[in-house]
Amino acid sequence: MNVTLVVIEFLLLQTVKPLEDFIWQNFNKETIILISSNLDTLDDRLIFILYLPQPKLIIHPKKSPNLEIFNNYIITETNLTSLSLSINSLKYKTQTKGRFLIIPHKDFSEDETKSAFETLWSHYIYNVVIYINWTSFVTWYPYSFENHCGTVFNLMENIKFPYDNKIPRRLQGCSINASWDELALAIKNPLDKRDPGYSVRLLDTVAEKTNANIIYLKRNAKYMSNGIKQFSKWKNELLEQTIDLAFVIKNVPEPLGPEFEMSVSYFETYCFFVLPPRRKITSSTNTLVIFSAEIWSLIAITIIFMTVLLKNFTERSLQHCFFEVIRFMLQSSIKRVPKTTLTRFTFVFFFFYNCNLSWIYVSQLSGVLSKPSYEPKISTIQDLALSNKVLRFNNLWDQFFKGRIFEKEIFEKKISIPDEKNSFKDQLTEFLKNLDHGFINSNSRMHFIKNYEKLHAVSHDKITTLHSHLMFRKAFPFSVRFNDVLLHIIEGGLISKWFDESQIAVEKLSVREYENVEGYLDLDRIICVFVLLGSNTRSLGWNKKVDRDSPSTARSSGIQAKNVNPMKYIWYDSDSDRVKRGPDTQFSSPRRTPKGSASPRRYVVENRVYFDRQLTV
């Protein structure tokens, strides 16, 4: 009896010892996840695992939480059927790039072992070792030349480092299925290698660097054109057709579900509202507000100063002096020459000041008359919400406005787009045709408009930033390798080069001439005649003075400058402010005004007042 026990213990030791050494060698000190659907009847030969010093977590496959943070998994099942059920239960819950050790309780034949590898490979679990018949450690390399990209299962036993180099740097031309949807400059037609779009050129370059063969599917669900409601249908197609990757654009770098993984972002595009060109508007009041408040204040202070100064010099009323200053500003003329040098210098200085002021005003006025003004610029979405603009965009964008302070105002302006006109080209054509609403566009799609500089873009506030990614199936073996190549391409600046080249052959639409409701103010408008007439009043004043002094004016009044008809007269001496009565005899030569007098004499002849213009200084 004792001999039998010794033999059993020896055989058990011979069975367990290689397994224990394997775990020690390959699982190091990291946590071990022990998974089994028959934990109550666990094989006695596996009890030693519970006593290993590494941290352990014992899990039933149907009650498994998310285990992606771990890397070491030991799965023990009775037969191949139980193993398949456990793997399906663990779907999307394990780190498929981790290390898996499969320990079947019963012996596996070679065909059963290949079937087990095939089941695991269908879930992209490739870093696997199976301990068959409690004697040998069997593995395989899916991308080795003899296994033909995982379609043939050539088993290898007792490899020294069975978990290393399972995924090579080059894929030996293995096929990778890719789904796509037409997307502006990014994805035009992957089957046309002359101009497929910058995203397609990116993936083709990645495939070239990794020696992969990208197969673009000819039939695809319009998952990006038709909006988010098609994502669920498209996800099912990805899983059913074993599609490995697809192009996606998202505002957050998160996958569409636990079935997928995202690559690094390789391109960013900014979305904002685009409005019709700003209208030209006319405002005749601009001629009154050309100067700023500071300049008008300076003019007012100058008038007040000159009024007070003139009052002190002439001792006349403040009202009279005020209108004299206004007359001087409009006509550049004064009633009499100032007597003192300081007063004359002050008026000369004021004359040049007035000339400069008139020149500045006329220059500014000519700009107002020849240059149009425009509608106020809308820089932020909040300004847009407070304006009277109409907006058209589909319901896909509603999520970006919810919760904002201007949510209500934006939705009040919104006109929903019917599904049959949901594509970008339809929206762009409708916008450029009518130019009566705003719509949402991105900086990359602005290149579909030939003269897009004319449009009014609310670019200060972006609606969102969209990131371009490659989306892989969960546990896609080459995701890490693809990300490495993507980073090298981004750092090399090739994306910008491909983006610019994608714009060359694009059919661009033009912004039509935008008819203005109000024409801008020009010199042909009748109002301008009066404005210019008012600004040149001083010229009219000088002309009146010349006409008044001309001989023809004197003759038409029946007055002679040097000789006055003989009659009784009363003359008024303005220098002495006295009225002097002349003799009753004929008047032969009037009394002259003293030299240097500032004003002429006035004569009252037959109740009419005349000036002796000859004597005016």
Token readout for 454 is: 């004319």
Confidence of residue 465 (pLDDT cuts 50, 70, 90): confident
**Closest C-alpha to 442, from 421, 467, 417:** 467
Q: What's residue 265's pLDDT? A: 93
Q: What's residue 43's pLDDT? A: 81
Confidence of residue 285 (pLDDT cuts 50, 70, 90): low
Residue 104's identity, in one-letter code, is P
User: Pick the residue with more confidence: 94 or 573?
Assistant: 94
pLDDT tens profile 348-363: 888 888 787 777 777 7
Token readout for 285 is: 């009041």
Confidence of residue 223 (pLDDT cuts 50, 70, 90): low
Number of Cβ within 10 Å of residue 158's Cβ equals 12
Contact 490, 202 (CB under 8 A): no
Of the candidate ranges 109-113, 122-126, 301-305, 310-314, the one whose mean pLDDT is the lowest: 310-314
Confidence of residue 584 (pLDDT cuts 50, 70, 90): very low
User: Pick the residue with more confidence: 584 or 195?
Assistant: 195
User: Pick the residue with more confidence: 372 or 28?
Assistant: 28
Task: Reply yes or no on whether the pLDDT at 291 is more than 70.
Answer: no
User: Pick the residue with more confidence: 404 or 368?
Assistant: 404
> E strands, 350-455, where?
373-374, 391-392, 414-415, 439-442
Contact 97, 120 (CB under 8 A): no
Of the candidate ranges 227-236, 260-269, 563-572, the one whose mean pLDDT is the lowest: 563-572
pLDDT tens profile 68-93: 999 999 999 988 999 999 999 998 89
Q: What's residue 568's pLDDT? A: 42
Task: Reply yes or no on whether the pLDDT at 96 is more than 50.
Answer: yes
pLDDT tens profile 497-545: 999 898 887 888 888 766 554 444 444 444 444 444 454 444 444 444 4
178, β-bridge pairs: 216, 245
User: Pick the residue with more confidence: 214 or 606?
Assistant: 214
Helices (H) and strands (E) in the chain, counts: 16, 23
Q: Which residues contact 453 (CB under 8 A, 6 or more apart)?
A: none
100, β-bridge pairs: 73, 128
**Which pTM value belongs to this model?**
0.65
Report the relative pairing of strands 464-473 and 456-458 from DSSP bridges: unpaired
pLDDT tens profile 144-172: 888 888 888 888 888 888 998 888 888 88
**Closest C-alpha to 471, from 234, 293, 298:** 234
Confidence of residue 201 (pLDDT cuts 50, 70, 90): very high
Q: For CA atoms 149, 150, 155, 158, give the dihedral sign.
A: positive
Taking residues 377-398, report their average pLDDT.
Answer: 86
Report the relative pairing of strands 260-262 and 267-275 from DSSP bridges: unpaired
CA dist 206 and 219 (Å) reads 23
Confidence of residue 611 (pLDDT cuts 50, 70, 90): very low
Q: What is the largest CA-CA distance in the chain?
A: 181
Confidence of residue 371 (pLDDT cuts 50, 70, 90): low
Q: What's residue 221's pLDDT? A: 58
Residues of the chain by 3-state class (helix, strand, coil), percent to 5: 40, 15, 40
Of the candidate ranges 356-360, 481-485, 582-586, the one whose mean pLDDT is the lowest: 582-586
365 in helix, strand or coil? helix
**Closest C-alpha to 75, from 43, 104, 49, 50:** 104
Phi and psi torsions of 192, nearest 5°: -100, 100
CA dist 73 and 95 (Å) reads 9
Taking residues 431-450, report their average pLDDT.
Answer: 88
One DSSP character per residue, 118-140 reads: HHHHHTT--SEEEEETTTEEEE-
Mean pLDDT of the chain: 76
Q: What's residue 59's pLDDT? A: 92
Q: How far is CA 513 from CA 391, 451, 517, in A?
A: 21, 11, 13
**Closest C-alpha to 274, from 400, 512, 433, 462:** 462
Contact 52, 28 (CB under 8 A): no
Percent of the chain scored above 90 by pLDDT? 18
458 in helix, strand or coil? strand
Taking residues 284-310, report their average pLDDT.
Answer: 74
Q: Which residues contact 118 (CB under 8 A, 6 or more apart)?
A: 153
Of the candidate ranges 46-60, 213-227, 470-484, the one whose mean pLDDT is the lowest: 213-227
Q: For CA atoms 293, 295, 300, 305, give the dihedral sign.
A: positive
Of the candidate ranges 25-34, 221-230, 485-494, the one whose mean pLDDT is the lowest: 221-230
* Cα 499-504-509 angle, rounded to 5 deg: 105
Q: What's residue 263's pLDDT? A: 92
Q: What's residue 220's pLDDT? A: 64
pLDDT tens profile 20-52: 889 888 887 789 999 999 888 788 888 888 888
Task: Reply yes or no on whether the pLDDT at 592 is more than 60.
Answer: no
